[in-house]
Structure 1
Amino acid sequence: MTTSDKTRWGLILVIWAAGLGAAAQYGKISVVFDRMAELYPLAGGSIGFTVSLVGLLGILFGVVAGMFVAAFGYRRTLVWALWTGAVMSALQALHLPFPVFLGTRVIEGLSHLGLVVAGPTLIAQVSTEKTRGLAMTLWSTFFAVAFTLLAWLGLPLVAKFGVLSLFGAHAAIMAGLAVLLGQALRNVPVPERQAVPSLAKLPALHWRIYRSPWLVAPAAGWLFYTACFVAILTVIPPFIDENIRGFVLGVMPLASIAVSMTLGVYLLRFVRAVRLVQTGFALCAMIGVWLMLVPGSPLACIAVAGAMGLVQGGSFAMVPQLNETAADRARSSGAMAQAGNLGNTIGTPLMVTVLSTAGYAGMLSTVVVLFSAGFLVHAVLAIRRRF
């Protein structure tokens, strides 16, 4: 793949905005989750799937998504993923029957997967080697920034016009980005399309990745991180004082970004990424106990988000540290995408179910167990790498 001889920052910002739209496919439900029962009062515990079903296709195809996108074309994938997301959000704004709404969330998962695979590839394409690190760091913030914007701008919109207005606004933004990028990407050189991968080879590819303590390590911890991140942002808000809820929800993702890009980057100069991730998980577990003892504590909420930033930054740094070749790094990153979608999919329904059956303390106990499991899985894989 040839790359640009000049960084196209304007285009990079628009592609990053598409990433914000992809993150909002999770976040637009998370930030109003406590009000989804108003739309679907008979849904019961199944309401948790309104958040998590976006990750279904990512679970099935995360490892090989890059190969499918290469076959369909990066520019085409990005634009059509935006259009698909726009149509699904527009349908959701019509207050669909609950089963149909869940169906749109599954289709929205296809849009999400296309955006998170094609977006960073195209950003790398339109940046120079000197600026690529900064450009990719910008891309890595899309999830947390989207949650912040939804908390600070989306919640006031919902307060004034209702939940469905947020879905309509998301549809309009995605459609606008599709039109803009459809034009802006026309002159961006991309590699020739590749052959569609054989489905018969998928089981062997997955087996090779998941049996390797080097390839699977970033994904193994990422599973527990993602099972908690969206779920915490979704389930905790009703326990935060309503007067400062929007502020806290906006600060939590920013705290994660700030810690990851400052303290996390600094510590990586002295410790291996695995150790940094384990430190993050240990801190998260301890802060989870604090949050259990002081329900909805704003300081504890922000602190746990900050500690999760160590896990976030360390997990991505772990990929090149444990895997030397580009091919292995791609496989390891694909496994991270798959594990991340699995964590996002099971996290919220799990927390909602535990909350409804065991209460707040039971839910926070589950969070602490998941964070502890993230610490332990890296300890086990580290032992395997020694023998």
Structure 2
Amino acid sequence: MARSFKVLFQVVLLWMAGLGAATQFAKIAVPFTEVSSLYPEFGDAIGWLLSIVSLIGALLGALSGSITTWIGPSRLLIFGLVLGGLVSLFQATEPGFYVMLASRVVEGMSHLAIVVAAPTIMAQITVGRARNAAMVLWSTFFGVAFALNAWIGLQIVDQFGLSVFFALHGGLMILTAAILALCRIRIDLGEPGEFNWGWRALLRAHARIYSSPRVTAPPIGWFFYTLTFVSLLAILPGQFQGNTGSIVAGLMPLAGIVLSWLAVPLMLTYLTSVAVINLGFALGIAIMGTAFLGCPLTYVAIGLFAVLGLVQGGSFAAVPELNDSAETQALSYGAMAQMGNSGNLLGTPVLLAVLGLTGVDGMLVAVVGFYLAAIGAHLWLARRRMAA
């Protein structure tokens, strides 16, 4: 019983580290209007403050599994939390735009370290049903963080300003690192061996991952999901008047979490994980179609994020379903980090540009195109798996 409680405490603590990592996006996306007011002369370039944190993950995500083994997941996680905390404390000084942009690139190192190391540790300290529950909990960290930031973070910003908000985030990241260090979680991932940082190693890692229709399927679908998740959370609430935006910003990720928890485990007893993913994308397309039939945008936004919960849960389940060995699973999770960061990096600037040129309707059409491409990619990779 004592051991079970200890493991539960550690899992929750690791999940809290994930909340800190997700807040690295949410602290810009949720108070996006307030952040934009800090740099009024930079216009659409403000979108890069949100997405550029993904740059490091987009470049090094394919190597992240090897990096984790080489450094050790516990040390890597604590490093990521401390670095992220210090960067957030620096951002509380509200530096100039280009300095803030550079700090967001550094913050990307912290983010990648956390999102790779924390689930690796979770998978090692849990077994059986406890492991499944832990990974489902982990899959909610982004949505929960955005909901908490919409409900609590915005109130902090309104009452005390962005500077206090950033400082609070930094302090909580460092506190989480300190508690994790006291826990002294030790896991054995085997001998790390020699690690190469050269271009050849990077190219070999990419070739190995993206030549496999099993390893690459979850990351490719995840790219199209992340291309719209953070960006729509940042953009859609701004289309509403008064307090409606903050309410919708909180309900959007929460709707996805609820449907993911309630529906995905049941659906996976009857459908493959890829089928669940494609169903989520297809339902998202259908819900966005209702916007052109007169359905209020508030309902469209919440409904869209509800069905995207199927994509979220199905994508994490797809990795072990499609890949038998721990090695190929690690490769697939590393590629998910890379594709997720690539989607986050591009999503907000792209959709802001489309919004400026075509309005909300044009932006929704673009999102429909992304989801059709996701379904097509999954069907093509499934055909390749059958032919192999």
Q: Indicate the residue corresponding to 1:30 in structure 2.
A: 29
Deviation track 1:40-98 (CA, whole Å, cap 9, x = no partner) reads 01112211111111111111111111211222222221112111111111111111111
Contact persistence 1:287–1:300 (CA under 8 A)? yes
Q: Please give the TM-score of this superposition, normalised by the length of structure 1.
A: 0.93
Q: Indicate the residue corresponding to 1:227 in structure 2.
A: 227
Gaps of 5+ in 2: none
CA distance in 2, matches of 1:224, 1:128: 31
Q: Indicate the residue corresponding to 1:327 in structure 2.
A: 327
Letter in 2 for 1:366: A
Aligned residue for 1:249, secondary structure, equals: helix
Contact persistence 1:67–1:196 (CA under 8 A)? no
**Structure 1 residues 293, 346: closer, same or farther in 2, change over 3 A?**
farther
Cα displacement (A) at 1:215: 1.9
Contact persistence 1:281–1:375 (CA under 8 A)? yes
Contact persistence 1:84–1:111 (CA under 8 A)? yes
**Structure 1 residues 128, 263: closer, same or farther in 2, change over 3 A?**
closer
CA distance in 2, matches of 1:323, 1:8: 26
- The answer to which of 310-319 and 377-386 deviates more is 377-386
Q: Structure 1 residue 75 and structure 2 residue 74: aligned?
A: yes
Aligned residue for 1:271, secondary structure, equals: coil
Q: Indicate the residue corresponding to 1:194 in structure 2.
A: 192
Deviation track 1:161-195 (CA, whole Å, cap 9, x = no partner) reads 2222221111111121122222222x635456623
Contact persistence 2:26–2:149 (CA under 8 A)? yes
Cα displacement (A) at 1:289: 2.5
Identity fraction in percent:
40
Q: Indicate the residue corresponding to 1:50 in structure 2.
A: 49
- The answer to which of 16-25 and 127-136 deviates more is 127-136
- The 5 Å alignment of 1:1-387 reads 8-185=7-184, 188-191=186-189, 194-198=192-196, 199=198, 200-291=200-291, 294=294, 297-387=297-387
CA distance in 2, matches of 1:196, 1:258: 43
Deviation track 1:252-301 (CA, whole Å, cap 9, x = no partner) reads 11211111122122111111222211111111112122245558622221
Deviation track 1:101-141 (CA, whole Å, cap 9, x = no partner) reads 01110100100111111111222333344522222222221
- The answer to which of 120-129 and 364-373 deviates more is 120-129
Contact persistence 1:6–1:127 (CA under 8 A)? no
Cα root mean square deviation, aligned:
1.9
Gaps of 5+ in 1: none
Q: Which has the higher helix share?
A: 2
CA distance in 2, matches of 1:307, 1:329: 25
**Aligned residue-pair number:** 383
CA distance in 2, matches of 1:296, 1:235: 16
Contact persistence 1:236–1:296 (CA under 8 A)? no
